[in-house]
Structure 1
Amino acid sequence: MRKGLTSVLSESAARLYEQLIVSGGLSLEDHPDLGTTAECRELIDKGFARERHVGTPKLIPVEPIRAIDNAILVRQRALLDQYQYLLRLRDEMQVLQQTYEASANPSADINELVRIVSEPAEVSALSVELALSAHSDVASLETEHSSRPRKPENARVLPAELVERGVRFRNIYSRAALELDGAGEMLQASIRSGWICRVYPDLPMKMVLVDKRAALVPLGPTGMEGALLVRAPVIVATLSRYFELLWAGAVPVDNESAKIPPEQDQVLRLVMTGMTDGAIARHLGVSERTVRRHVSALQEALNVNNRVTLAVAAVRQGWVD
């Protein structure tokens, strides 16, 4: 067995791939259990093999130059992400150090720096009040936990005076939040209102952060169980850096700059968040068959065989940020 393959494949999958190369493919009729083995799924998922159902169903190898090139691209992308993470971590350290050195007077009243807000109505009012006081940036996290149903009329409309002031409004949704009924329509209404929206696989909490000077952090899942109003510079700086790290790794969901048809662009961006075909179909209000057709068209256009390499190739092609 070639040692290079085992750096990207398990030993058993590497042996199966070499067997496919030598034989030109294995009949799924002669090997009925082959398609369900872990080795087979690994080869398909990583772009080293594919099932062919024209004529006799077979598991056939993807041309080595393409398969290994895709594996190299995936590894390069992972290394780049790790490097960028380390750079962001260093930047975070520098910001925190500066905040630490210029922190508020230790004798300041602690109630001015951190305050507990327990009434749901006050939490809602304070969230609006903070946003209205923004001078440059409003950043928020949105999870699947909510006290209100997802409806387009519940989308947060941006005040005209803030838009004219040039305040930027950014929101990160958890993937689960977009899979709820009505979430797709509410998301599109938010985007039309002026929000810049992205999706992250999983978020631990809601949050509202204004101008890197104040943050509203919930005490419970929905945010209506109470919240902390935080103005302590060190804590706000930490929450701000946390948001920026999430923002850098989140997937944009608007298609204003799409380089492919809007419906394919929407599917591609949701594929990159890790959503299944079923979840994407529910989110967009289409059939799973339609989603699979779009995914197949995207894979064919980029000359790839699976979702992993589809994401890498789409980034390399400049179809998504």
Structure 2
Amino acid sequence: MRQGLTGVLSEAAAKLYERLVVSGGLSLVEHPDLDDRPETRELVEKGFARKRYVGAPLLVPVEPARAIDNALMIRQRQLLDQYQLLVRLRDEMHALQQAYRSASPLAPEIDELVQVMTDRAEIGALSVELSLSARTDVMSLETEHFSRPPDPRSARTLPAEVVQRGVRLRNIYSRAALEIDGAREMLQLSVEAGWTCRVYPELPMKLVLVDDRAALLPLGPTGMEGALFVRAPVIVAALRGYFELLWAASVPVDGGAVKLAPEQDQVLRLLLTGMTDAAIARHLGISERTVRRHVGALQEALRVNNRVTLAAAAVREGWV
């Protein structure tokens, strides 16, 4: 039996269809039980077989190319029905959400924009739910503050379909966070799960951002003492802008090892030869401002404040 058929037919129906194709058809007189078998009904309903009553009644196969076209049309109709069901469900949930907010003791407009959460389990669950619902981006900041030592098994993994639908998963770690036991292994597992990770010298807080529509802000260092669930567009946009500034100034890491972006690596290597910013800019075909931005990011990542110590720190870290 060809494995491909089992993707659209049951195993029994796939076997019967292949038998029909090989034989050219089966007599309903010689096989009286055939008419009432579920696999026969399945083949007829899905357009893989038909009953012919010209002369002796037969169950005959539909040409494979047409049968597959029939199966595709049925699947397309099913997908359309499912999509329409989801649209109706979304509209119904929106109406229920409005009713829920109207019944809230808080003013609906305030409850919609900012919510204080103190239940640890609820905060963790909301973080996961937000990530699963992402349409374009999930962004987070991770500091060295944990309520308990990080367990690699707690690495944030999301179902493969989240990544497959094009959602970008980005995480920035403070340098101190990567120095905690277990953190490097947790980071490696996160990278394998689809996260792109970077490191920044110091971060003021943890943060979870989803698209341009929601954010979780901690009320304490670990983020589990309490959190603000923010949906105010102006605040979320400001937090998104802050995250992007940090992202541009942070250094990529791959499985716990610092991995410079190609242009950062080129700037660093040319800087170590003694070239000026202007010469580096001409050599790479970029602006002097871009060169200075890369140098500043490298200094921040290595926690140095001048180019002399930058060179020594880059060698010490094995970047060159």
TM-score (norm 1): 0.49
By relative contact order (CA 8 Å, sep 6+), the higher-ranking structure is: 1
TM-score w.r.t. the length of structure 2 is 0.49
